[in-house]
Amino acid sequence: MSETESLVLLEHPAPGVALLRLNRPEARNALNEPLRIALADHCTALGEDDAIHAIVITGSREAFAAGADLRELVDSSAIEMLTRGTQLRWRAIAACPKPIIAAVNGFALGGGCELAMHADIIIAGEGASFGQPEVRIGIIPGAGGTQRLTRAVGKYKAMKIVLLGEPISGKEAEAIGLATEVVPDDQVLDRAIAIAKKIALLPPLAVRQIKEVLLAGQDTSLETALILERKAFTLLFASEDQKEGMRAFLEKRKPSYKGE
């Protein structure tokens, strides 16, 4: 295993489920460039793997990811930041067609909070700590922290979080819409995997269309979004999974989906 590969560990806790575990414990999983590359490469590969139907991303009990690695950034010039291409690593995660579940324990700050917001479902521990503290070091969020956060929790909550740079708890994150569920810290990963296992049993084509249409629709008009929804709805009637699902329901048996 290379040094880059060891920064993100790939596990398969259940059929159809991939688990990506950030592995920089000495730095609280701070997101340096090699880790970002490894995570992007995994998301790209898993997105193309027909055997994988859901992905869980997690860190450790102490830290999901404590932000960017400032040692890489402190002396960087604007041109260096412009040409580094970090946005391409984030894009690979955002473009993954498979549902992504973030299992968040401990710190999810700065880039760690932004990584969680790249997921489709966030399971937070009661002791989790979400935040965008960039203002406290003279910069602003640079991987969606001002945009995804606003879309998730609204302008007024987002302004407070980003302007003050103060963290919020897992419970508060769930209350304002930044997390899907909050559970005891020792149940976070098990709950995320349980959800991923349920998704993995569902028809892959329908799951993929749901993610695609939901994400595309949130940034367009309602009428355009409804057109996208109707097109995807109609398209799925060309699939064998649609026939299998409806027939199984009528015959009162469990369906067997093949992604066809």
Instruction: Return the active site residues.
Output: 68, 111, 114, 134
Asked if residues 124 and 181 have their Cβ atoms less than 8 Å apart, the reply is: yes
Q: Which two tokens stand for residue 177?
A: 């819409």
Vertex 151: Cα angle to 30 and 218 (nearest 5) = 120
Asked if residues 4 and 22 have their Cβ atoms less than 8 Å apart, the reply is: no
In angstroms, how far is CA 198 from the centroid of its own chain?
17
| Whole-Å CA distances, 131 to 11, 55, 154, 163, 165 | 28, 23, 15, 11, 7
| Strands of the chain, DSSP E | 8-14, 17-22, 54-58, 63-65, 100-104, 107-109, 121-125, 129-131, 168-169, 181-183
For the chain, what is the radius of gyration of the CA atoms?
Answer: 19
What length is written for the chain? 260
Element (H or E) spanning 228, and its range? Answer: helix 222-235
- Angstrom distance (rounded) from CA 31 to CA 137: 16
Asked if residues 105 and 58 have their Cβ atoms less than 8 Å apart, the reply is: yes
Number of Cβ atoms within 10 Å of the Cβ of 107? 25
